Amino acid sequence: MRKPIIAGNWKMFKTVSEAVSFFSEVKGAAEVDGVESVICAPYTTLPALVEAAKGTSIAIGAQNLHFEDNGAFTGEISGVMLSDLGVKYVIVGHSERRAYFAETDEIVGKKVHAAFKHGLTPILCVGEKLEEREAGETKNVCKVQTEAAFQGLSAEQAAQVVIAYEPIWAIGTGKSSTSEDAEDVIAYIREVVKGLYDASVADAVRIQYGGSVKPNNVREYLSQSNIDGALVGGASLEPASYISLVEGA
């Protein structure tokens, strides 16, 4: 049985005091038996959030990491630094990083390895652009991105990866994929993982849907047999909305 996982992606929102205030409101309420609750927050807020999350079941995640442990990479943050803080998850290969920060499949793969090296669980984002969808390329894009990111991972590591299938045209647009379409692509991604490893790894991997998930549609996605949770941007920013997402799972 795969445990559903709701992960908020705050992107570049919230100061430290806003993050701490959010956390004090969701603590307790966004802790639901049988659901994993994760908040992926800006770097500056992570020490305060990790501290606030002590003794709760809410895990704290980062939104990116560099693949090297340290070095002359001005402005970057490494897995060593994140695990030293007590961060548990890290988003890797979000479409905004691929689009605005030139992250290639190769870089994403290195980041997945860096996450495991430092005991962080990667939330690996894959998904197609609108033109790729219209060209019938959705599954192929997801296959290529998944295979590149899993390259060189042991079966034990592969089983721990959380994949977030995020059609890019659905992120922050209010246009969500239908739950049936998302299920179809996610079932296919699970087949890709099976092809790389075996059925037991494919059955263990958790695959989220992401793209305009809201409290009023989260349940519909999670009712699909292959969808194990959601990666949520906009609707994770307000405490009441985040609580509803976790309850809805």
Q: Is 101 in the site for ligand PEP (CB under 6 A)?
A: no
Nearer to ligand PEP, 145 or 212 (CB): 212
Only segment of 98-106, 128-136, 150-158, 211-219 that touches ligand PEP (CB under 6 A) = 211-219
Q: Is 172 in the site for ligand PEP (CB under 6 A)?
A: yes
212 annotated ligand-binding residue: yes
Name residue, tokens 């494919």: 202
Structure-block tokens of residue 163? 């994949």
- Please report the beta strands in 4-143, taking only residues with DSSP state E, as ranges in sequence order: 5-9, 36-40, 58-62, 89-92, 121-126
Sign of the alpha-carbon torsion through 35, 216, 13, 227? positive
Residue ranges in 27-154 assigned as alpha helix (H): 46-53, 79-85, 95-100, 105-117, 130-134, 138-150
Structure-block tokens of residue 157? 């590591």
Q: Please tell me whether residue 163 adopts helix, strand or coil conformation.
A: strand
Residue whose Cβ sits closest to ligand PEP: 233
Q: How near is the Cβ of 17 to ligand PEP at its closest, in Å? A: 23
94 is catalytic: yes
Which of 61, 211, 229, 248 is close enough to bind ligand PEP by CB under 6 A?
Answer: 211
Q: How near is the Cβ of 220 to ligand PEP at its closest, in Å? A: 15
Binding site listing: 9-11, 172, 212, 233-234
Please give the residue ranges that form the binding site for ligand PEP (CB under 6 A): 9, 11, 166, 171-172, 210-213, 231-235
